[in-house]
């Protein structure tokens, strides 16, 4: 099993697109980076800790490649917005592909270059690719949000789609 770590806005909306894929063992909400050990949701939400909201994915590379995970990531983020994602604004929502190995870094960089060359987006691709820092698991109420809070998750998903339709 391998791990992947992605920041792409609110972690509530980042779980389901990965959780439903074959070869995925777990998708855990959490926080990465920053200067506070074991931060809480309230601390990270305050935009004062330097952390990003992330999902840590444990996957079987024989069933799901890191390259495929990165392609899913591009589908669920706005790679042109360094100030947050959709209606989630601030540094804790900035888009980042974190890597655990040189191979993951190379795959992410190649994929980012291909996306930029495709000219799908008018603006530059601003997602950073950074070495994976310490991962801190988020509180239990933030795990499997799309399953535990289906109505709220659906509302978040719809609001995100509406925002994207108006602003992208």
- Alpha-carbon separation of residue 14 from 20, 35, 47, 110, 118 (angstroms): 11, 23, 19, 22, 24
Burial label, 167 (beta-carbon count in 10 A; 0-12, 13-18, 19+): exposed
- Closest C-alpha among 107, 167, 149, 159 to residue 15: 149
Within 10 angstroms of residue 89's Cβ, the number of other Cβ atoms is 14
The catalytic residue among 4, 7, 10, 72 is 10
Q: Is 34 left (phi over 0), alpha (psi -120 to 50) or beta?
A: left
Helix (H) or strand (E) holding 96: strand 96-99
Q: Does residue 13 have an active-site annotation?
A: no
Active-site residue list:
10
């Amino acid at each position: 099993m391998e791990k992947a770590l992605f920041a792409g806005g609110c972690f509530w909306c980042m779980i389901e697109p990965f959780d439903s894929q074959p070869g995925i063992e777990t998708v855990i909400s959490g926080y990465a980076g920053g200067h506070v050990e074991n931060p809480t949701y309230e601390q990270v939400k305050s935009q004062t800790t330097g952390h990003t909201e992330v999902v840590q994915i444990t996957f079987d590379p024989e069933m799901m490649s890191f390259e495929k995970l990165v392609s899913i990531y591009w589908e669920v983020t706005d790679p042109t917005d360094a100030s947050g994602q959709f209606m989630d604004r601030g540094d804790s929502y900035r888009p980042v592909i974190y890597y655990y190995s040189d191979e993951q870094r190379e795959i992410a960089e190649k994929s980012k270059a291909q996306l930029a060359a495709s000219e799908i987006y008018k603006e530059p691709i601003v997602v950073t690719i950074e070495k994976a820092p310490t991962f801190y698991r988020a509180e239990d109420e933030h795990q499997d949000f799309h399953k535990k809070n289906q109505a709220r998750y659906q509302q978040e998903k719809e609001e995100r789609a509406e925002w994207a339709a108006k602003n992208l």
